[in-house]
Structure 1
Amino acid sequence: MILKSTIDRIMEATDIVEVIGDFVQLKKRGANYVGLSPFVNERTPSFTVSPAKGIFKDFSSGKGGSAVTFLMELEKFTYPEALKWLAKKYGIEVEETQEAPEDREAENRRESLMIVSGFAAKFFHESLLETDEGRNIGLSYFKERGFTTEIINKFELGYSPDQWEAFSSQAVKEGYQPEFLIESGLSVKRENGSLYDRYRGRVIFPIHSFTGRVIAFGGRTLKTDKNVPKYVNSPESEIYHKSNVLYGLYHAKKSIREEDNCYLVEGYADVISVHQAGIENVVASSGTSLTVEQIRLISRLTKNITILYDGDAAGIKASLRGLDMILEEGLNVKVVLFPDGHDPDSYVRLVGTSAFKKHIEESKKDFILYKTNLLLKEAGNDPIRKAEVIRDIVESIAKIPDSIKASVFVKECSHILQIDERALLSELNKMRQAKAKKDGERQQQSTPRNDEPPEDLFFDPEPQTREEDASQEKEIVRLLLLYGNKVIDWDGIANTYIGPFMIAELNDVDFENSACKKFVEIYSREVENGVLPEEQYFIHYADKEIVDLSITLITTKYTLSDNWYEMHRITVPDETANMKATILSAIFHLKMHKVGKLLANLRKELQTAQSPEEQDILMSQYMRMKKVEKSISDYLGSVILK
C-alpha cells in the first residue's frame, strides 16, 4: 500500500490540466478548460476541467473525478497504478508500507497481462543488445535501416532468439504463469501442454498503450522463405484491441498537440524513420485498416490528419473508404504521395529531414480534391463512369458535418468536374435527406409503438420514492461538501462548524442511498477522529463511488457570466446569503420526508392489523409520529419560511 504522505506529495504535484491535456485537446474557457469527451463520441464539447478544484466532469458520460480517477476511467488503471503513473510523471519516489515486488499472480487478469508484456519487452530488448545472436542479426538489421541507438532504445525495439523456447522457458522459470503467456500471444501451447515462442527469429516492435505500457508486439521475420509470414502480430486480448490502438501514438501525442496535425503512415518502420528525422507527430494503424476508434483517438489531440502514402495506386484506392470515415468524424484530411515507389521510410532516408518536410508542404492536397482528380483520371472520357465519380465525390462531401466546409468543396469540385454547382448541391441535399430519413426510421424502430404498452406501464411507485429519497440525501451530502468547514454564526447557535452540526442533527436518520450512506458514515468517522474532511478529501478518495458522488454534486455544466446581472438585471438567489435557512431546510425536509414514509407504512399496517391489541400499538406509534411531523412542520414554518 502506498503511504499517505506519498499520495499527498503526488496530489500536490499533479496539475490536472497538464495530465488530462496528454489525452484530450483542452481549450480555456473562463476559469475552466473544455474539450471533447474521451469516453463518448461527441461534436460539441461537454468535458470540463476545473484547475481550481483539481477535478474533471464529463457531462456526456457522467464520469468525473480527479486526475487519478481520469486515468482509472480512461486507461483502466487500478488506484495504485494511477498513483504510480503520476509519480513517475512528476519524478516522485513511491514509498509503500511493504515491499512490493512484481506480483506474478497479480490481483486481476488485466494487470497480469500487462506485467508479462512488460517482462517480454525487456527480454526482447536485452536479447537485441546483449546477445551475440541479437547483435549480429537483429541489431544489424535495424542499423541497416538507419535506426540510431537512441531511437532503438526509445521505441524499445527487440529481437526474439531463433530458438523454440528461449523466451517461454525463461518466463516460466521467473515465475510467470503459462496461462498469461498464452493469452497475451507471447507463447503457443503444444498438444502435449508445453510452450513454444510465437516470435522466434524475428525482430520485435513493441506496441505501447496511450500511457506508455507495452500491450502487444509486432514481429518481423528476416528470412526470405515465402512460406513464412513476413509479420506476426499479437492476438486480441484483454489489454490489446488493435482497432483501438495506433502504433507510435504514445511517442507522438505531445508533438501532435503542439503541431496541431497528425501524420498517418502504414508501417512500423515508417513511424520510426519519420520520428527519427525529427517529425514526431507520426503514427500508424498497426497493420489494420483505419477504424473509427483510431480516428477518434487522433481527434482528441487534433482535427487535422495528413496521410503519407507510398504511391501504390491499388493501396490508395483501397483506403479511400477509410478517409471518408475521417471526414464523417469532422476532421480535415490531406494526402501526400511519394515519388518513384518510395514510402515515408525510404524517402526520408534518401532525402533527409529538410527535403522531406519540404516535399510534404509542397505536395499535400486536400483529400476531397485529390480523390476527385484521381477518380476523374480513371474515368477518362466514359460518361457513365464520370457520373459514378460525381456521385462518389458527393457522397464524400455529404459526410462532412460542417455545412460551410461542405459548400466550399462543392464549389471547388464543380470546377474540377466541369458540372454546374447547383446540380452538385441538389445531389448533396438528396443524400442528406435520405440519410436523415434513414436515421429517423432507425430511431423510430428503437422506440415502442404507440399501440404497444411500454414494458413499465404497470409500474411500482416505489422507484419514484427511492429517487426522491436519493435527491434529498444527496442535498445533505452536497451541503457537507461545500459548507461543512464553515463556522456557524446564527442566533442561538454559534462557534461550531456546519459539518459536525449536520451530522449530530442527522444521527437519527437512516440514509437509504448506498453512496450517500457510505459518504455520511465516512464523514461521521472523520469528525469523531477530530478531522473536518473537505471536498478535496472526497475528490481524491480511493472509493470510486464516493468520488463519483462528490464530483457530480459539486460541478455544474453551466456557469453564469460575470456580467449576467448588468446585462439582464436578473438576480439569481444565493443560498449562502442565509446559511441557517439553507442548512436547516435541508435537514428538516429530509426528516419530514422520512417521517412521511414511516406514517405511510404505519397506515398500511393498521389496515391489515389482525387484533385490537395490535391496532392499539400501531395507533400509538402513529400518533407519536404525527406529533413529530407537526413539530418538524412548525419548525420549518417558523425558522425557514418566515
Structure 2
Amino acid sequence: MPRYPEYVIQEVIDKSDIVDVVSEYVPLKKSGSNYMGLCPFHNEKTPSFSVSPQKGIFHCFGCGEGGTAISFVMKMENLTFLEALKKLADRANVALPETSYADSKKEAAIRDKKELYFELNKKAALFYYGMLSKKEGAPAVAYFKERQLDGRCAKFYTLGYSPNSRTALLDYLKGEGYKEEDIFAAGLASKNDSGAYFDRFRNRIMFPIFNANDKAIGFGARRITEDVNPKYLNTADTLIYNKSKNLYSLNVARRSKCGEVILVEGYMDVISVVKHGIANVVATLGTALTSDQAKLLKRYFNEIIICYDSDDAGLEAKKRAIMLLRDFDIKVSVMTVEGAKDTDEFLKKYGQDRFLALINKRKSDLLYLMDIFGAKYELQINVEDRIRYVSDLLPYLAKVKNDVELDIYVEEIARRAKTGAQAIYAQLGKTRVVKGEQSVQSPDILPYAGAIVSDKLEKTRELLLSVLADSVSIFERFDGEIDEKLFENKTHIKLFNIIKERAKEHQRLEAGSVMTLFDEDEIGEVTKILSIDAMCDDKTRAVTDYIAAIKQEMRKAKISELLKSGDMEKLNEFLKNK
C-alpha cells in the first residue's frame, strides 16, 4: 500500500493529465467525452482501450486492465507504485513530502532483493548452459541430440545441464561473491536439517524460465537417468517466481505480435514448435492452467489455441482449460494432433507445413466438444445417449456470454441431439423465442445450476454502482432501500461501501484516490464500473429500476435453488414473502 497521504496521491493524479500521459505511449483518438486507442497490454485490431479525462482513469474492455495514470506508468515501465508516483510527480512539478527513512529503506531493500535474484538466476542459467561444452555435460548433449535439438536451440533458450555434484553451482556463485542465504532465497539451493546448503538441481536438463520482460526468474528441470526423482523439478516459490503465475516462453510469444497463441503441455513441445518457425507458443510450468495464467494470456493475446496431447489425460486437461478460459471471456479454440503422441513428435514426423495446416483446421472450443462428446454416444438411435450428450455440454454452454454465439451453438446441439432448442435454453435457465417452437420455459425443467446467476444480474449491479459512484449524493434518497446484500462479488461490495462512506461525508468519489484502496487484481473490475457512462436524465428512476431488477433476479435465483432442493415448505414460505 502507498505510504503517502491520499491527498498527495490525488494531487499527483490531478496534475497528471491522463490523456497526455497515455498519449506518450499509445496513439489516442477522441470518442465522445473519452479517448480510444489500441490496448498496449494485449494484441487487438479494434480499439477497446478507453481513457476518461474527466475521471482520470483508463480501462481496456478487451483484457480488463485499468487504473489511473500512476498504474498505467507502473505497467508500461515495470515500476513499483512509489517509482511511478515519483516519476509522475517530477513530470507534474509536484513536491512529494519526505517519507520515513525506514519506509524508504524497506522499499529499496525489496527492489534490490528482486534485482539480486534476477541476477543470480541469470548467472545460474549461463553456468548450466556452459556445462554443455564441458565433459560433465555429455549426457545432456546426447539427450538434446536424441530430441533433435541443435546448438542454436540450446543457445536461444539458454538450455543447460546441472552437473551431478552436490555443490557445483553453489561453489561457483560463492566464488562470484554471492551469499549462500541469497542463493537459497533465489531458489537455486536447498538446505538440510543441519543448516548446510546444497544445489537444488543436480544431474538434470535445465530449462531457464523468463518473465515477460526477459528476466530469468527460475528453472524447470528434467531428469536424465531413471534413478533421479522426481522426473520434473521446478524452482520453489520465491520473491520473483511462482509457477502458477508465469508461462514458459511467454517472453518469446509476446514479441511475435500474433493475435493468437498456442498453448502446449511441455517445454520440449514449445521448443519444437519455435524451432519450426512458429514463435507464438507457450506452456504451463508443470501445473494445470491457472486463473493467473489465463489473465496473463488475455493481456497479450485475443485467442488461445489449445494443443494438448490426444490421450485421455490431454482431453481432461483441454476440458478444464476451456472452462477456465471461458470464465475470463477469452476466445478459445482447439487443434488436434493426429498420428503422433504429442506436438514434438508430430513436428518431427510431418514438419512445419502439416502443423500449420492443423492450426488452420482448428475448431472453436464448443464445436470441438460437440464432436468429442458426440463420439461417445449413439445419437442416431439411443434416446438416453442424446440426453447425456446435452447434459455433458450444458456446463460449457453456461459459460457462453455472447447471445449470438450461444444461439448458434444451441441450434447445432439441438440438431445433433434431435431435440428442441427451447428445451436446451430451459436447462440453462434462459428463455428464447425459437422459430417453430413456443417460447415457454416449463416449470418442470430446472435451470442448469451453473447458469442461475445470469449476466443480466451482474451487468445491472455494475450499472447501479456506476450511477451511485457518479453521484454519491443520490444515496441519501435511498436510505434503507439499498445495502451490500444486493451484491455478491467482494469487489462490488467493497466499492459500494466506499461510495456509502463518501455519501455520509458528503464527498465526491475521486476515482484516482479510490484506486489506492483496492488490490491490483481488483482494479480492472473497478475501472470497468467507473468507465461506464452513467449519464441519464433521471438518476433516481434509474437507481429505482436497477434495484428492482436486481431483487427480481435474486428472487428468481432463490426460487430455482429451492425448487432444486425439493423443499416445498420453504418455497411456499418464500413465495408468500413479497
Asked if these proteins are the same fold (TM beyond 0.5), I'd say: yes
In structure 1, what residue type is equivalent to 2:369?
A: K
Residue 203 of structure 1 contacts residue 219 of structure 1 at CA under 8 Å; is this kept in 2?
Answer: yes
Tell me the equivalent position of 1:307: 306
Tell me the equivalent position of 2:144: 142
The equivalences for 1:233-272 within 5 A come to 233-255=234-256, 257-258=257-258, 260-272=259-271
Tell me the equivalent position of 2:295: 296
How far 1:232 sits from its partner (Å)? 0.5
In structure 1, what residue type is equivalent to 2:413?
A: C
- Aligned residue for 1:243, secondary structure, equals coil
CA–CA distance in structure 2, aligned partners of residues 346 and 28 of structure 1:
48
In structure 2, what residue type is equivalent to 1:70?
A: K
CA–CA distance in structure 2, aligned partners of residues 189 and 212 of structure 1:
29
CA–CA distance in structure 2, aligned partners of residues 191 and 262 of structure 1:
44
CA–CA distance in structure 2, aligned partners of residues 325 and 197 of structure 1:
36
Tell me the equivalent position of 2:395: 395
CA–CA distance in structure 1, aligned partners of residues 274 and 311 of structure 2:
22
Residue 19 of structure 1 contacts residue 67 of structure 1 at CA under 8 Å; is this kept in 2?
Answer: no
RMSD: 4.4
CA–CA distance in structure 1, aligned partners of residues 202 and 235 of structure 2:
13
Evaluate the alpha carbon distance shift between residue 75 and residue 422 of structure 1 in structure 2; reply closer, same or farther with a 3 A threshold: farther
Deviations 1:335-359 (A, max 9, x none): 1222234211111121111122123
Evaluate the alpha carbon distance shift between residue 128 and residue 280 of structure 1 in structure 2; reply closer, same or farther with a 3 A threshold: same
- Aligned residue for 1:297, secondary structure, equals helix
Residue 336 of structure 2 contacts residue 358 of structure 2 at CA under 8 Å; is this kept in 1?
Answer: no
CA–CA distance in structure 2, aligned partners of residues 27 and 418 of structure 1:
51
Residue 166 of structure 1 contacts residue 197 of structure 1 at CA under 8 Å; is this kept in 2?
Answer: yes
Evaluate the alpha carbon distance shift between residue 175 and residue 361 of structure 1 in structure 2; reply closer, same or farther with a 3 A threshold: same
Residue 206 of structure 1 contacts residue 217 of structure 1 at CA under 8 Å; is this kept in 2?
Answer: yes
How far 1:196 sits from its partner (Å)? 1.1
Residue 64 of structure 1 contacts residue 70 of structure 1 at CA under 8 Å; is this kept in 2?
Answer: no
CA–CA distance in structure 2, aligned partners of residues 132 and 48 of structure 1:
58
In structure 2, what residue type is equivalent to 1:352?
A: G
Higher relative contact order (CA 8 A, sep 6+): 2
Tell me the equivalent position of 2:166: 164
Evaluate the alpha carbon distance shift between residue 446 and residue 385 of structure 1 in structure 2; reply closer, same or farther with a 3 A threshold: same
Deviations 1:9-37 (A, max 9, x none): xxxxxx9989968xxxx997769653569
Identity of aligned residues (%): 26
Tell me the equivalent position of 1:434: 452
Tell me the equivalent position of 1:114: 118
CA–CA distance in structure 1, aligned partners of residues 254 and 387 of structure 2:
41
Residue 208 of structure 1 contacts residue 247 of structure 1 at CA under 8 Å; is this kept in 2?
Answer: yes
In structure 2, what residue type is equivalent to 1:201?
A: N
In structure 2, what residue type is equivalent to 1:188?
A: S
Residue 161 of structure 1 contacts residue 200 of structure 1 at CA under 8 Å; is this kept in 2?
Answer: yes
CA–CA distance in structure 1, aligned partners of residues 35 and 390 of structure 2:
45
How far 1:234 sits from its partner (Å)? 0.9
Q: Which among 186, 190, 193 is matched to residue 191 of structure 1?
A: 193
Residue 369 of structure 1 contacts residue 413 of structure 1 at CA under 8 Å; is this kept in 2?
Answer: no
Residue 303 of structure 1 contacts residue 330 of structure 1 at CA under 8 Å; is this kept in 2?
Answer: no
Structure with the greater alpha carbon radius of gyration = 1
CA–CA distance in structure 1, aligned partners of residues 500 and 58 of structure 2:
36
How far 1:70 sits from its partner (Å)? 2.9
How far 1:447 sits from its partner (Å)? 9.9
Evaluate the alpha carbon distance shift between residue 269 and residue 458 of structure 1 in structure 2; reply closer, same or farther with a 3 A threshold: closer
Tell me the equivalent position of 1:352: 351
Which runs of 5 or more structure 2 residues have no equivalent in the other structure? 1-19, 88-108, 431-446, 462-482, 491-495, 514-529, 534-578
In structure 1, what residue type is equivalent to 2:136?
A: E
In structure 2, what residue type is equivalent to 1:232?
A: L
Tell me the equivalent position of 1:407: 407
Matched, 1:327 2:326: yes
Tell me the equivalent position of 2:210: 208
Matched, 1:70 2:75: yes
How far 1:369 sits from its partner (Å)? 1.6
In structure 1, what residue type is equivalent to 2:117?
A: L
Evaluate the alpha carbon distance shift between residue 20 and residue 412 of structure 1 in structure 2; reply closer, same or farther with a 3 A threshold: farther
The equivalences for 1:382-531 within 5 A come to 383-384=383-384, 386-428=386-428, 429=430, 430-431=447-448, 434-436=452-454, 444=486, 464=505
Residue 308 of structure 2 contacts residue 317 of structure 2 at CA under 8 Å; is this kept in 1?
Answer: no
Residue 270 of structure 1 contacts residue 345 of structure 1 at CA under 8 Å; is this kept in 2?
Answer: yes
- Aligned residue for 1:319, secondary structure, equals helix
Number of residues paired by the alignment?
Answer: 417
How far 1:320 sits from its partner (Å)? 0.5
CA–CA distance in structure 2, aligned partners of residues 557 and 355 of structure 1:
45
Q: Which among 219, 222, 225 is matched to residue 224 of structure 2?
A: 222
CA–CA distance in structure 1, aligned partners of residues 485 and 315 of structure 2:
35
Matched, 1:231 2:232: yes
Which runs of 5 or more structure 1 residues have no equivalent in the other structure? 1-14, 84-104, 449-453, 479-512, 514-555, 560-642
- Aligned residue for 1:242, secondary structure, equals coil
Evaluate the alpha carbon distance shift between residue 194 and residue 213 of structure 1 in structure 2; reply closer, same or farther with a 3 A threshold: same
Residue 114 of structure 2 contacts residue 239 of structure 2 at CA under 8 Å; is this kept in 1?
Answer: yes
Matched, 1:375 2:379: no
Residue 35 of structure 2 contacts residue 50 of structure 2 at CA under 8 Å; is this kept in 1?
Answer: no
- Aligned residue for 1:117, secondary structure, equals helix
Tell me the equivalent position of 1:155: 157
Q: Which among 122, 130, 135 is matched to residue 132 of structure 1?
A: 135
CA–CA distance in structure 2, aligned partners of residues 273 and 244 of structure 1:
23
- Aligned residue for 1:263, secondary structure, equals strand
Evaluate the alpha carbon distance shift between residue 377 and residue 33 of structure 1 in structure 2; reply closer, same or farther with a 3 A threshold: same
Evaluate the alpha carbon distance shift between residue 117 and residue 433 of structure 1 in structure 2; reply closer, same or farther with a 3 A threshold: closer
Deviations 1:279-326 (A, max 9, x none): 111111121111122122222222212111221123212430221121
Tell me the equivalent position of 1:339: 338
Deviations 1:52-91 (A, max 9, x none): xxx994597533249853345x5659959x99xxxxxxxx
CA–CA distance in structure 1, aligned partners of residues 500 and 275 of structure 2:
66
